[in-house]
Amino acid sequence: MPRNYTLNDTRREYRQVRDRIIVAGVVICLLIASLLARVTYLQVFRHDHYTTLSQDNRVKIQPLPPMRGLIFSRDKVLLADNRPSFNLEVVPEQVKDMEQALRDLGAHVEIDELDLARFRTELGRRRRFDSIPLRYNLSEEEVANFSVNRHRFPGIDIVASLDRYYPLDANVAHVIGYVGMIDEPELQTLDPVNYRGTTHVGKLGIEKAYEDLLHGAVGYQQVEVNVQGRVIRVLDRTPPIAGKNITLTLDVSLQNLAVELLADRRGAIVAIDPRDGGVLALVSAPGYDPNLFVHGIDPADYRALLASSATPLLNRALKGRYPPGSTIKPFVGLAALVNGLRTPEMETWCPGWYRLPGKERRYRDWKKGGHGHTDLENAIAQSCDVYFYNLAVEMGIDAFSQSLWNFGFGHATGIDIGGESPGLVPSREWKKNTLGQAWYPGEMVNVGIGQGSLLVTPIQLATAVAILANHGRVVRPHLLDDAVSPGAYQGQYWFSDKLATPLGQTLERHYQAIIKAMGEVVQGPRGSARASGKDAAYRYAGKTGTAQVIGLPQDDAAKEAMEIAADHRDHALFIAFAPLENPAIAVAIIVEHGEGGSTTAAPIARKLFDHFLLPDHKRMADNGG
Amino acid sequence: MGNQSLPQRMHIDLPLILGLLALCSLGLVILYSASGMDRDVVFNQGGKIALAFGLMLLFAQIPPAQLARWSLWVYLAGVVLLVAVLIAGDVSKGARRWLDLGIVRFQPSELMKLAVPMFAAWYISERSIPPGIASTVAVCALVLVPVLLIGKQPDLGTALLVGVAGFTVLFVAGISWRLLGGLALGAALSSPVVWYFMNDYQHKRVFTFLDPEQDPLGAGYHIIQSMIAIGSGGLYGKGWLNGTQSHLEFLPERSTDFIFSVYCEEFGFMGVLLLCGLYLFVIGRGLYLALNAQEAYGRLLGAGLVLTFFVYIFVNMGMVMGQLPVVGVPLPLISQGGTALVTLMTGFGMLMSIHSHRRLLSG
């Protein structure tokens, strides 16, 4: 194309382009001004707003859960520990595809159905930005495996935590109880501030009763996080206050021995220091492994525990309701002395049976030939039934139930871990209210020897023995050793002085009479438990008991036939305290279907006393005897 | 001419070079922070800047008449390559943009950012200024071809910038206001058609632009985080390396498309004034150089390149401040990356050539 521009054309072109460039320049300036206006709006006028948003972005408040207090026994054995463990936790809002992530995780960390089920429950319940545990207790290998692949799982991380661990396993399960994951109802009642970041709470036993002592106070830290929520640095920190370590009155060597002595039989042993009510041993056999419950028990395991005919989850020491059998006799005897129905010297003729006035039915004594002329001491030492048939019928239900009530039967002892059954002391009102019937004097016969509708718990029995050993000074059974952790639990009185003396103005000689009789039981020439009391290095007092599980026919042949069935065999009971002069330990022992109180239960008491009172024996036992 | 100064003999414009160097240096400073204090990234980018400056110096030596003679062929080659990309290009991030030439991977769409204004300037300067209806329509049609090809990749941002590059030349050449109005009307009327051809993710971007708050954790997230970064910077900024939004990774694409947010957060309003000042200086100098070109071709090409440069800036800043939809346009001379940098500096090289060869040709 030929170039034939004139000079004018070029000038015109130049002006044309120059004008347009000027227009463009003006437009550019206007647009830059609009950008600057926008910047001004964002950085000057909305600065505070965006500063807040920026802070919210980067600064997160994290609760720091306190370390749970440890639990020790009086002999300095650790009963509840915190063990470091590595858990895999998920922050749901940071996981794009949860299902995919859970599937992929399986390649690095073992995740079973239970973990998943537990996780999904939590997922529905917790907030989207909360960290939810998926797997507890990762092995070292799993920790390493996951750490290498961590970048592939945003929002999922390994969190080190302290897990509750019960080293003594089943032996103290019914005392310590266990902690478990906080559930929905607990979420409503727990302090939401103090429990931010806490995953477990005491569910049972000591762990539940002293939750507020053991838990401690939550701390906080302000952390700077990046977009994935990973903590970059800590800006500010208020440390948590660890829960208090508490010491129990429990003597673990005695507790372990008690478990050992019950062997694989069902039953309960409660030992109390009568001087202050401190529980030295509290065994309910069989026990269970409380560690199973810490991270939520496998439903199959739980079903197995529930279905077991041995009912391992039942705390027999606190909830087991047993007829006391003859172990009730010292208390009834004392009531008779107090009420003036008997003097120690008054004798009852025992032909081997008793008949209510004007009735045909014979109530047999356990001894076929009878005990002959029997005074109170012999009646207790040989456990004469006829003496107490007579006595109970004479006493009547009102005086009888009031006396037992005063010794702590029929209502909770108030042991600090709670969960007690009140047992049952029958009364006119009770019978009227529950059965709609009047009380028949004839019922006194059975009730008088600890049968019939009378039901006691082992803890009640042990507490009553302690009161007896104290000559009437009431103690409240408790597990927290206030002497070792002084003031740890304020507002609680363990001691008797605040409580009413049972049986009103009971004279000292009445106690002495009963205690002397109980001494004869184990160390007298005709005592029912003299075999177990033989050659003891100290004097002690006891009372055997054999409680019928079901009402057995009085006919001998039929009785023998029925007794063959293990579940129908009598319960063996024994109560005792030692030493006689200045009691340091009071026990109640119940061996379910153990048959003879003197043969099964009484030797256990002797071994416990030997262990507890004699240093040499104690050492032998500790060495694995 | 024996009495020429060194810059003149090297065909460079000292004020422009100083402005560009200042911008690139500022860019490296921000990049160090935006990359999370990664020295390797900064050195790497420094290398690219050096390369781009080299190319700029090289192109400054090529006389505008030579560029004019190449214009048509560069344009045609670009179109062919764009077609090749659509057929055999590498897919990256869901779009087919790259052409693997064995030795180098190459984005023909970048070439078009220069080829289109070259071609438009040549076409118009060969005819009449201001362009008549016929040549306006012809230029529009011929600019639209690469724009559509790039839009098909899909690369909406680049298509837009290539179209803008062609349009700026038309504008500077003096396209009549009436035609301009007609084009604007045409664009408005064709927008439903464009909408129809757009992908879902492009639709989403438009929605996000219209209301970023409606999906704060999804598509709107980036814009919100960017506005938080800018707003929280305030007058004086949080200080270099102290931007929490960027260093804690709340900002997306913080070393590339959203680097302006990092800058605003750390250097505040004062920093923005400095940056805009530098940009205005470069733009002003560029327009001055273009205006003083000897030939109409140079004048048109130069002004077109400078105006396109401004559009880059405007679109990027508008985007990160939530004024414009999110299109992948980097902040020129600041964002990390070599491709756009090389294109831009080549353009500035041409600008210098247009200016510095003036006397030689006239002499």
DSSP string covering A102-153: HHHHTTTS---HHHHHHHHHHHHHS-TTS-EEEE-S--HHHHHHHHHTGGGS
* Host H or E run for residue A362: strand A362-364
Q: Is A13 on the interface with B (CB under 8 A)?
A: yes
Flag if B234 and A53 touch (Cβ within 8 Å): no
Q: Which residues have CB under 8 Å from A210's CB, separation 6+?
A: A202, A246, A416, A480, A489
A290 domain-assigned: yes
A34 domain-assigned: no
Q: What is the pLDDT of residue B211?
A: 65
**Domain enclosing residue A589, as ranges:** 252-622
Flag if B248 and A44 touch (Cβ within 8 Å): no
* Total count of domains within chain A: 1
What is the C-alpha end-to-end distance of chain A, expressed in Å?
120
pLDDT single digits (tens) B118-164: 999 999 988 887 888 888 889 989 999 999 998 888 777 788 889 99
pLDDT single digits (tens) B155-202: 777 888 899 999 999 999 888 888 888 878 887 888 787 777 777 777
Minimal CA separation from A127 to chain B, in Å: 17
- Chain-wide mean pLDDT for chain B? 86
Q: Which residues have CB under 8 Å from A93's CB, separation 6+?
A: A128, A129, A155
Q: Is A300 on the interface with B (CB under 8 A)?
A: no
A411 domain-assigned: yes
Q: Is A554 on the interface with B (CB under 8 A)?
A: no
Q: What is the spatial distance between Cα B133 and Cα A614, in angstroms, rounded to a whole number?
A: 121
* Host H or E run for residue B56: helix B39-60
Considering Cα of A485, then A487, then A491, then A495, what sign does the dihedral take? positive
For residue A227, the chain B residue with the least C-alpha distance is: B250
* Mutate which: B238, B248, B289, B292, vs A, most A CBs within 10 A: B248
Q: Which DSSP category does B276 fall into?
A: H
Neighbours of B234 (CB within 10 A): 21
Q: Is A7 on the interface with B (CB under 8 A)?
A: no
Flag if A58 and B250 touch (Cβ within 8 Å): yes
pLDDT, mean of residues B4-33: 90
| Residue A91 one-letter amino acid | V
A355 domain-assigned: yes
Neighbours of A349 (CB within 10 A): 12
For chain A, give the longest Cα–Cα distance: 157
Q: Is B75 on the interface with A (CB under 8 A)?
A: no
Q: Closest Cα to residue A130, out of A122, A138, A118?
A: A122
Strands A71-72 and A231-238: unpaired
- Residue A53: is it exposed, middle or buried by C-beta count within 10 angstroms (0-12/13-18/19+)? buried
Confidence of residue B360 (pLDDT cuts 50, 70, 90): very low
For residue B324, the chain A residue with the least C-alpha distance is: A35
Q: What is the pLDDT of residue B363?
A: 36
Residues 424-453 of A with CB under 8 A from B: none
For chain B, give the longest Cα–Cα distance: 67
* Mutate which: B126, B129, B236, B247, vs A, most A CBs within 10 A: B129
B352 within 8 A of B288, measured Cβ to Cβ: no
Flag if B227 and A24 touch (Cβ within 8 Å): no
For residue B273, the chain A residue with the least C-alpha distance is: A36
Q: What is the spatial distance between Cα B229 and Cα B232, in angstroms, rounded to a whole number?
A: 5
Between chain A and chain B, the number of residue pairs with CB atoms below 8 A apart is 132
B173, B248, B299 ranked by CB distance to A232: nearest: B248
Minimal CA separation from A237 to chain B, in Å: 20
Residues 146-185 of B with CB under 8 A from A: 168, 171-174
Q: What is the pLDDT of residue A562?
A: 53
pLDDT single digits (tens) B214-252: 555 555 778 888 999 999 999 999 999 888 888 877 888
Minimal CA separation from B200 to chain A, in Å: 21
A105 domain-assigned: no
Confidence of residue B87 (pLDDT cuts 50, 70, 90): confident
- Number of residues assigned to chain B: 363
Q: Which DSSP category does A600 fall into?
A: I
Segments in chain A below pLDDT 70: 1-9, 127-129, 228-229, 482-506, 550-567, 616-625
Q: Closest Cα to residue A502, out of A472, A461, A477, A476?
A: A472
B36 within 8 A of B247, measured Cβ to Cβ: yes
Residues 216-245 of B with CB under 8 A from A: 225, 227-235, 244-245
A20, A42, A227 ranked by CB distance to B171: nearest: A20
Q: Is B321 on the interface with A (CB under 8 A)?
A: yes
* Angle at alpha carbon of residue A403, lines to A397 and A405, rounded to 5°: 95
Q: Closest Cα to residue B302, out of B248, B224, B244, B355?
A: B355
Q: What is the spatial distance between Cα A609 and Cα A529, in angstroms, rounded to a whole number?
A: 15
**Token pair belonging to A95:** 């996981």
A21, A40, A228 ranked by CB distance to B287: nearest: A21
Q: Closest Cα to residue B117, out of B92, B86, B84, B146?
A: B146
Which CATH number covers residue A276?
3.40.710.10
Q: What is the pLDDT of residue B194?
A: 76
A18 domain-assigned: no
A115 domain-assigned: no
B227 vs A contacts (CB less than 8 Å) = 42, 50
Q: Which residues of A are catalytic?
A: 326
Q: Closest Cα to residue B162, out of B118, B196, B195, B197?
A: B118
Flag if B269 and A16 touch (Cβ within 8 Å): no
Q: What is the pLDDT of residue A553?
A: 47
Q: What is the pLDDT of residue A294?
A: 87
**Token pair belonging to A317:** 């020491």
Q: Which DSSP category does A6 fall into?
A: -
* Angle at alpha carbon of residue B144, lines to B142 and B146, rounded to 5°: 85
A305 domain-assigned: yes
B321 vs A contacts (CB less than 8 Å) = 35, 38-39, 42
